Amino acid sequence: MTQGPDFEKAELLPVIAQDAASGEVLMLAYMNREAYEETLRTRRVCYYSRSRRKLWRKGEESGHVQQLTEIFFDCDADTLLVKVNQVGGAACHEGYRSCFFRRIDLDNGSVHTVGERLFDPAAVYGSKK
């Protein structure tokens, strides 16, 4: 019987973050074993940033942290689902509640922004994103 996510299969496992109250999908990120263990220990979601190659404590710059309410893993033990309370309202570094704020029109392929920007990324992060 599997005891938890299988970090032997892959060093980084995909993680879907979902709002615990509404069920809205907020983002997809990755965790390594260290990020997973920190998340369990602190109940504040920690990811592994592939671009920065280091632990990424969600909200460390913006203050928009994710408080863990539940954590699940899939049947293959290689994908995680974290249910969170999204503090500050925005999960996306571009200032939107969800990273999935662009909808593709199925009829013509055009892209539409859905959702409202909750903060100005330049004001929070400066010139880096």
Amino acid at 93: H
Residue 104 resides in a domain: yes
What's the token pair of residue 76?
């293959």
Is position 18 within any domain?
yes
Q: Is residue 34 part of a domain?
A: yes
| Range of the structural domain that residue 29 is part of | 13-125
Q: Is residue 3 part of a domain?
A: no
Q: Is residue 5 part of a domain?
A: no
Residue 99 domain flag: yes
The three-state (H, E, C) secondary structure of the chain, written as one string: CCCCCCCCCCCCEEEEEEECCCCCEEEEEEECHHHHHHHHHHCECEEEECCCCEEEECCCCCCCCEEEEEEEECCCCCCEEEEEEECCCCCCCCCECCCCCEEECCCCCCEEECCCECCCHHHHHCCCC
Domain assignment of residue 121, yes or no: yes
The CATH number of the domain holding residue 81 is 3.10.20.810
pLDDT tens digit sequence for 63-121:
999 999 999 999 999 999 999 999 999 999 999 999 999 999 999 999 999 999 999 99
Domain total for the chain?
A: 1
With beta carbons less than 8 A apart as the criterion, state whether 87 and 65 touch. yes
Is 6 contained in some domain?
no
Q: pLDDT tens digits for 28-41?
A: 999 999 999 999 99
pTM of the model: 0.91
